[in-house]
């Protein structure tokens, strides 16, 4: 079992930045590929970014490429999502997820999920 707890969400103006964190506990963190998804009202949950076990490879949705950066610290069992140049369309609940398949956009490839953190971007 892996427990994931997100933090760092909040209210920010368009053009601003936020850094999300996801702390993991339980089984060895470094065996898992990690990802961020988001769920906006009235929309399906969508893939945002993924990172390999070592952190050496990252994969992004086109909508956030160049603005968001995913990273991880395997010593601190934490994955991060740095979000810059935020837009109102980025407003959503953000979830981190752990799985064994790197770079998958499919939710069912991830075995463990956090409870989510709300990000609201005002115009």
pLDDT tens digits along 31-63: 999 999 999 999 999 999 999 999 999 999 999
**Residue 27 clears pLDDT 80, i.e. is over it:** no
Compute the residue count for the chain: 123
Q: What pLDDT does 19 receive?
A: 98
Nearest of 31, 34, 32 to residue 47 by alpha carbon: 34
Q: What pLDDT does 26 receive?
A: 78
Q: What pLDDT does 59 receive?
A: 94
Average predicted confidence (pLDDT) for the chain:
95
**Residue 1 clears pLDDT 90, i.e. is over it:** no
- Tokens 């990690």 locate to 34
Nearest of 53, 62, 119, 115 to residue 88 by alpha carbon: 119
């Amino acid at each position: 079992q892996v427990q994931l707890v997100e933090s760092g969400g909040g209210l920010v103006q368009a053009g601003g930045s936020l850094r999300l964190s996801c702390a993991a506990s339980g089984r060895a963190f470094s065996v898992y590929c990690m990802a961020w998804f988001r769920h906006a009202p009235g929309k399906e949950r969508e893939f945002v970014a993924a990172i390999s076990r070592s952190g050496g490879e990252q994969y992004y949705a086109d909508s956030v490429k160049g603005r968001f950066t995913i990273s991880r610290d395997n010593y601190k069992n934490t994955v991060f999502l740095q979000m810059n140049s935020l837009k109102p369309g980025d407003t959503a609940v953000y979830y981190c997820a752990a799985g064994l398949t790197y770079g998958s956009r499919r939710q069912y490839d991830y075995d463990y999920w956090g409870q989510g953190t709300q990000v609201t971007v005002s115009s």
